[in-house]
Copies of this chain bind each other. A is one copy, B any other.
Amino acid sequence: MSNTARNPRDVRMRGFASRTTVEDAWSWLDDAIQAKRSSLGTESIPIGNAAGRILASNVHSQVDVPMFDRAMMDGYALLAADTSGASNYNRLRVSVIGESFPNVPFDDTVATGTAVRIMTGSPMPKGADAVLPAERTESSDDSQSVELLGEVPSQKNIGFRGEDIKAGSTVLHAGRRLRPQDIGLLSSIGCADVTVVASIKVRVVVTGNELLPRGSVPTGYQIVDANGPMLSALVSRDGGVVVDDSIVPDNPTSIAEAMQDDVDVVLVSGGSSVGQEDHAPRLLAEHGELAIHGIAMRPSSPSGMGRLDGRLVFLLPGNPVSCLCSYDFFAGRAIRKLSGCQTDDRHWNYRSVRLPLARKIVSQVGRVDYARVAIDNEKIVPIAISGASMLSSTTRADGFVIVPADCEGYAPETEIEMFLYEG
């Protein structure tokens, strides 16, 4: 390190002096996510758009659900006592004095010896205390009376007022990620809008003077940006909202400006390492906090993260495979946790399977490896390492395995957990 003073420009081309472990990076990150979470705003949105969003405050019901006693079966509303002793061999007959349909109740009272035809969900008529299901009855030709072929106990086949939800009760608690059935429940208690945690706004900052925007044809020494479109798709998948993912000129002023957009999370793709053109780490350190830079993992070791005026900022390597890996380990973790996609017991937004390895996987103790793998014949096959830098290695792969830092790798036939890219 003695040459640091002599030639700082050169020193920036050197490797990292030391690397943070993935565990330590996660530990810093989880604290930062927790702090960020408490500063997120809220918004009121129609319930029809609220599935998957996080409830910002408890929801209480103003009403009973149902608001009236109702039949839970198609059949006859009657007095349970009138069915006493009824069977196929002892048919009891009662008069049918009317009908109750949904929103068209029977307005009179059911007395002993009478019954009201009733449909599921219809209001129970006064006097009746049970519903005898239609399949245990036989109505007369003129529908003026009905034979009872079975007994029914009092209160049976009735849904009582407030049975589902009582007025004044808390139906859903703050912090809950709303499920489709929650949306149904909110609708049933008369909620039109609901207050949810504001969406996580994300700025994707893609740097690189050689880059052409998506939709361009690559030409000469210019290549078309892969990371911006990939990161945008990842952010959307994880519940964030990309407000801008345009390419930024590779100069410190433009990058620093883009890092200060009005968003919750900034992803900087490219220029994350220690080379002379790697502006992002220095800029983050100057304008905010570069908490972590250089991580003991492969790929993606030139990753960094920190904060800038309340934004979480992630520095992602420009190599597309490293970019994907770094996103999923760190930036994606933050976006998933903040948007509610990821719970504490779940590191990844991928489904996993356990399968035996077809060939060994070699790693180094002290370093976490993210290895792309395929499935062949119900076994996990590592993708050739020569493709480490190639995006096509992640499109040929069926998923990935993580080799932890305390592990030298796995022998053939070891059964390990594999995460599926198909989700």
The complex places the Cα of A143 from the Cα of B237 at a distance, in Å, of 46
User: Which residues from B are CB-within-8-Å of A227?
Assistant: 184
Q: Is the CB of A209 within 8 A of B101?
A: yes
Whether A13 contacts B74 by the Cβ 8 Å rule is: yes
- Contact (Cβ within 8 A) A230 B183: yes
Min CB distance, A129 to chain B, in Å? 17
Select from chain B the residue with minimum beta-carbon distance to A178: B233
Q: Report the minimum CB–CB distance from A17 to chain B (whole Å).
A: 11
Determine if B230 and A392 form an interchain contact, defined as CB atoms under 8 angstroms apart: no
* A226→B183 CA distance, assembly (Å): 8
With A7-B143, A221-B105 as known contacts, state yes or no: A192 contacts B210, CB within 8 Å: no
Contacts of A183 in B (CB 8 A): 229-230, 232-233
- From residue 200 to 237 of chain A, which have CB atoms closer than 8 A to chain B? 208-210, 214-234, 236-237
Q: A181-B320, A389-B72, A392-B171 given as contacts; is B230 within 8 A of A214 (CB)?
A: no
Interface residue? A360 (CB, 8 A): no
Chain B contacts for A120, CB-based, 8 A: 273, 275, 318-319
Give the distance in Å from the alpha carbon of A101 to the alpha carbon of B251 in the complex. 14
- At the interface, yes or no: A198 with Cβ under 8 Å from chain B? no
Whole-angstrom distance between the Cβ of A420 and the nearest chain B Cβ: 9
Residues of B within 8 A of A346 (CB): 351
Complexed CA–CA distance, A210 and B75 (Å):
18
Q: Chain B residues with Cβ under 8 A from A359's Cβ? A: none
**List of B residues within 8 angstroms of A103 by Cβ:** 209-210, 220-222
Verify A102–B209 contact, CB threshold 8 A.
yes
Q: Could you say which of B10, B62, B390 contacts A139, with CB atoms under 8 Å apart?
A: B10
Residues of chain B with a CB closer than 8 A to A7's CB: 139, 141, 143
B229 touches A138 (CB 8 A): no
- Residue A376, interface by CB 8 Å: no
State A181–B208 Cα separation when bound (angstroms): 19
Q: State the CA gap A104–B222 with chains docked (Å).
A: 10
A134 CB → nearest B CB, Å:
4
B234 and A180 contact, CB distance less than 8 A: yes
User: A324 contacts B105, CB within 8 Å?
Assistant: no
Q: How many copies does the complex hold?
A: 2
CB pair B101 A277 closer than 8 Å: yes
Is A257 close to B, CB under 8 A? Answer: no
Q: What sequence of 0s and 1s flags, for each residue 380-401 of chain A, a beta carbon within 8 Å of any chain B beta carbon? A: 0000000101111011000000
Which of B184, B218, B231 touches A226 (beta carbons < 8 Å)?
B184
Interface 1/0s, chain A 274-294, versus B by CB < 8 A? 011100000000000000000
Contact with B along A3-15 (1 / 0, CB 8 A): 1001101100111
Contact A180 B233 (CB under 8 A): yes
Given A229-B183, A324-B180, verify A138-B3 contact (CB < 8 Å). Answer: yes
In the complex, which residue of chain B has the Cβ closest to the Cβ of A346? B351
Q: Shortest CB–CB separation between residue A346 and chain B, in angstroms?
A: 8
Does residue A67 face the partner (Cβ distance < 8 Å to B)?
yes
**Cβ of B134 and Cβ of A395 under 8 Å apart?**
no
Tell whether A164 is near chain B: CB-to-CB under 8 Å: yes
B135–A14 CB distance below 8 A:
yes
CA distance A212 to B209 in the complex (A): 58
A163 CB within 8 Å of chain B:
yes
Contact in complex: A172, B223 (CB < 8 Å): no
Contact A226 B185 (CB under 8 A): yes
Q: Is A334 an interface residue (CB 8 A)?
A: no
Residue picked from A121, A216, A231, A277, most chain B C-beta under 10 Å: A121
Q: Name 28 A/B residue pairs within 8 A (Cβ), A-sorted.
A: A3-B138, A7-B143, A10-B139, A13-B75, A13-B135, A15-B135, A47-B215, A62-B217, A63-B218, A66-B223, A68-B221, A101-B277, A119-B275, A159-B389, A164-B387, A172-B395, A177-B422, A181-B395, A183-B230, A184-B324, A186-B229, A187-B224, A187-B228, A188-B218, A188-B223, A189-B224, A191-B215, A343-B422
Q: Beyond A51-B236, A103-B210, A184-B227: 4 further Cβ-contacts under 8 Å? A: A159-B390, A164-B387, A179-B422, A187-B226
